[in-house]
Amino acid sequence: MNDDGYDHRSVERRYQEAWDEADVYRTPDDVSDPTYVLGMYPYPSGELHMGHVRNYTITDAYGRFNRMRGEDVLHPMGWDAFGLPAENAAKERDTNPRDWTFDCIDTMRRQMESMGFGYDWDREITTCTPEYYRWNQWLFGRLHEEGLVEQRDAEVNWCPDCETVLADEQVEGEAELCWRCDTPVEQRELEQWFLKITEYADELIDTLDELKGWPDSVRQMQRNWIGRQYGTTLPFEIDSHGTVEAFTTRADTVYGATFFALAPDHPISQELIKTDDAVHEFIHHEADPEGDEPNGVRTDLTATNPVTGEELPVFVADFVLSDVGTGALMGVPGHDDRDHVFATKMGVDIVPVIAPSDEDDVDVSESAFTDDGVLINSGEYSGLDSETAREQITEDTEAAELTTQYRLRDWGISRQRYWGTPIPVVRCSECGPVLVPESELPVELPEFVNTTGNPLDAATDWKETTCPECGGEAVRETDTMDTFVDSSWYFLRYVSPELTDAPFDLDRANDWMPVDQYVGGIEHAVMHLLYSRFITKFFADAEGLEHREPFTNLLAQGMVQLDGSKMSKSKGNVVSPQEIVEDYGADTARLFMMQAAQPERAFDWTEEGVRSTYAFLTRLYDLVESFDPETATGEHDAVAAYVESEIDATIAVATEEYESLTFNIALREAQGLVRTLRQYADYTEPHAATFERGLQTAVLLLSPVAPHIAEALYDELGGEGFVVNAAWPESDADRSTAEDRRRLVENTREDVRQIIEVAGIDDPERIDVVVAPEWKYRALEVAVESDAPNVIGELMQIPEIKKQGQAAADYGKDLQAEREALSVGLAVDEEYEALSAAAWLIEREFDAPVRVVRAADADESTVSKATPGRPAIDILET
């Protein structure tokens, strides 16, 4: 090691090379069930940002921790390499998406290596390679065979000037203009491909309850996204148009229906356009489904309420959504907020039919009453509660049916772009759309052509083909797949990335899945995770995968902020990881991030935090370097014993915190240990073995987060091989006792400080720390356990306490006053021992000898002030 102190550049370079040479991060195929730790793979934008660094430091630290605990760890990395930005970048730079993407990947891989992330690069996957995307095509084929693919018309953004489809991101502003030519964008119906995720809606929602390792918030977001509702479809008769079904969750309010409403693109509305000018005008010029206000137009139709027989006016209204329920609803303004606003605006009656309880009346003139309650004004159903009424009305009404509705829609995967997986379909004028047979996969992307439209449309040679079924002329599907298809199964590919005859090795996937710990951004809480769950279930049903959920534990990492707002390019407040690595090193960046906050929380990046982290590493480096076991001649005395117990306590706490990924607390522990060691060396000649064990422990505990410097120090301390492969330190210390001891010592030191300050003592001659008498510990125990309203009586029944007379009565009063907050801590002997062991810390701080005294050996007036957990302090001045 060089003597000029900590040089992060040479340390980090040296160990990155050494790890690489020794191939330490490989996960051999023959391990039986590695701990699978995975960070969401990045889009290769060409630049690693702080969000990535945080994400991947979390998985790296967790992976390293598990590895040191003797687990085989699978920790792979890959690239979510398809997508629109590459296509745009290629157009701007006059290159092609493939070259641009691979350049970006090379840059980012290098940046990741400079961060010291321990990946098994042999398992790297890149979704834009035919070796990968052919399995997207295969998956599409399998889904198709299982009846889970459907083609239907769906709307896309269309620029009439460029004659091309636009992605949502290419439509700009309120006015919805084409990003390229500023022409107003239109909607067009286009045949597109859908994966029928809705077939799995129930399972996707039901099994959320079992995902105990996921944040509740994410599970709730998925639940809302799937949006299951139980309700009834009621049949309404509309003059000359026959039966029209309406979905309601509130069949109990059917007597309060005062209007009926159709979505603008409901078939009846569309028919009315032709004959009713007002409907025409409304649908084409006024309807605004995204607006805050419900708008509508009255038609001259009426609908018959199937329960009451009443005739209701029929409206076409923009708040009725065509893809929800049946695209038609019964309006109940008395009990639905939106209906209330609409009815008020349109002058429709508002009738109350649900009251809070039997006796109550309800006023719905100003606003709707939306809770369940008891039916009123509802004929034979009056008096029933809402729930019973819903069942009863559904049962009694002919053609009414219990229905489950979902907000979830099938997954539209067609993208009219070049840089994605070609959908493996050929369109034949004779046979229609025909799946490309597996033997002809992959359908590879042709060379990129720079055009305003979809490059695949312009690739004539590629596009023109023959039909796999009849051999006649046919054209290829020019749509490519949503990149969420790629990411819906990439975690399975890592188990056997080179496999050429299947997407993944089934046996190995059965052994290695599910991912034990998944880490990524909250922005993926819905789509990516839902699609991954869906495809995993599909693999379970269709391919024999023995797992129905892909990710056992999920951590959504918090944002990295600067001055309170998210670091982002568009805000111009980014700190580049590369610069930090140059100036302070990867270890500093990693350590600062992990100690700044719990991984789920947002935290503020500060230069000051980075500097103080760097200073800590430098001090640690110097401490290790200046330690020489040959010349350390200290005894194994009480101070050494204290340090030993601190080492054990630190291990116990840090291990638990690493287990739960609360790195910030684990690191605070490790740093606390380093501080104790420095104080030790400062106070006395340290005992060599104790001090060495302390340093080793600190290095081991820091190593998952700051692996490079840990390697250097581990080596300096005589460790064998790499710290990466070292065993995690063990301890049998009990965490809660250890924490009680520390708290006791800390509070006592604080009390001494207070007294010295308040009493204005300049130069204390001696400090006595007096432990409370044993009977007070007994009294405390009784007070905690007792459920008597007043504990004093109970205390006085105990002879040992009663015998203390007035002192017992006074203490009993104190205990009674603080009943709620009491808890039992250390026993009297444990306190005496803990304080004796830590006396040197007090001596060192106040530069005066310290005596820890038992109650029996101190004078009465001091003893009376001591309580369990709070010794009395007596300071003698010179």
Kindly tell me which of 141 and 306 has the beta carbon lying closer to Zn ion.
Answer: 141
- Structure tokens that stand for 7 in this block: 């040089």
Burial 349-369 (b: 16+ CB within 10 A, else e): ebbbbbbeeeeeebebeeebb
Which partner from the list Zn ion, ligand ANZ, none does 502 bind, CB cut-off 5 to 8 Å by kind? none
Element (H, E) at 715: helix 707-716
Interatomic CA distance for residues 119 and 27, integer angstroms: 9
Phi and psi, residue 125, nearest 5°? -125, 150
The angle subtended at Cα 786 by Cα 783 and Cα 790, nearest 5°, is 75
Interatomic CA distance for residues 527 and 340, integer angstroms: 34
Interatomic CA distance for residues 16 and 25, integer angstroms: 11
With contacts defined by CB under 6 A, how many residues of the chain interact with ligand ANZ?
17
Which partner from the list ligand ANZ, Zn ion, none does 467 bind, CB cut-off 5 to 8 Å by kind? Zn ion
In the complex, minimum distance from the CB of residue 266 to ligand ANZ, in angstroms, rounded to a whole number: 9
Which partner from the list ligand ANZ, Zn ion, none does 470 bind, CB cut-off 5 to 8 Å by kind? Zn ion
Question: Which letter does DSSP use for residue 570 in this model?
Answer: G
Which segment (110-118, 318-326, 497-505, 757-765) binds ligand ANZ by CB under 6 A? 318-326
The angle subtended at Cα 706 by Cα 700 and Cα 710, nearest 5°, is 45
Q: Is 374 in the site for ligand ANZ (CB under 6 A)?
A: no
Interatomic CA distance for residues 621 and 2, integer angstroms: 11
Which segment (192-200, 245-253, 450-458, 687-695) binds ligand ANZ by CB under 6 A? 245-253
In the complex, minimum distance from the CB of residue 428 to Zn ion, in angstroms, rounded to a whole number: 3
In the complex, minimum distance from the CB of residue 152 to Zn ion, in angstroms, rounded to a whole number: 21
Kindly tell me which of 82 and 259 has the beta carbon lying closer to ligand ANZ.
Answer: 259
In the complex, minimum distance from the CB of residue 302 to ligand ANZ, in angstroms, rounded to a whole number: 18
Q: Is 232 in the site for ligand ANZ (CB under 6 A)?
A: no
- Give the residue ranges of DSSP H helices in 760-805: 774-785, 791-796, 799-802
Kindly tell me which of 338 and 547 has the beta carbon lying closer to ligand ANZ.
Answer: 338
Site string for ligand ANZ, 333-372 (x = CB under 6 A): --xx------------------------------------
Which partner from the list ligand ANZ, Zn ion, none does 40 bind, CB cut-off 5 to 8 Å by kind? none
**Could you give the dihedral angle defined by the CA atoms of residues 824, 830, 832 and 837, in that order, rounded to the nearest 10 degrees?**
-130
Site string for ligand ANZ, 116-155 (x = CB under 6 A): ----------------------------------------
* Amino acid (1-letter code) at residue 223: R
Rounded CA Rg of the chain: 36
Which partner from the list Zn ion, ligand ANZ, none does 329 bind, CB cut-off 5 to 8 Å by kind? ligand ANZ
In this structure, how many other beta carbons lie within 10 angstroms of the beta carbon of residue 4? Answer: 7
In the complex, minimum distance from the CB of residue 277 to ligand ANZ, in angstroms, rounded to a whole number: 25
Q: Which of 35, 55, 248, 731 binds ligand ANZ (CB under 6 A)?
A: 248
β-pair partners for 125: 78
Closest CA to 587 of 39, 16, 8: 8
In this structure, how many other beta carbons lie within 10 angstroms of the beta carbon of residue 865? Answer: 13
* Amino acid (1-letter code) at residue 226: I
Residues in contact with Zn ion by CB under 5 A are: 428, 430-431, 467, 469-470, 472
Q: Which of 253, 378, 836, 867 binds ligand ANZ (CB under 6 A)?
A: 253
Residues 6+ apart with CB under 8 A from 398: 235, 306
Which segment (28-36, 247-255, 438-446, 791-799) binds ligand ANZ by CB under 6 A? 247-255
Within 13 Å of residue 827, how many CA atoms lie on the same side as its CB?
2
In the complex, minimum distance from the CB of residue 196 to Zn ion, in angstroms, rounded to a whole number: 25
Which partner from the list ligand ANZ, Zn ion, none does 330 bind, CB cut-off 5 to 8 Å by kind? ligand ANZ
On whether the CB atoms of residues 479 and 167 are closer than 8 A, the answer is no
Which partner from the list Zn ion, ligand ANZ, none does 332 bind, CB cut-off 5 to 8 Å by kind? ligand ANZ
Sites for ligand ANZ among residues 263-292 (CB under 6 A): 263
Site for ligand ANZ, rule CB under 6 A: 229, 247-250, 253, 263, 320-321, 324-325, 327, 329-330, 332, 335-336
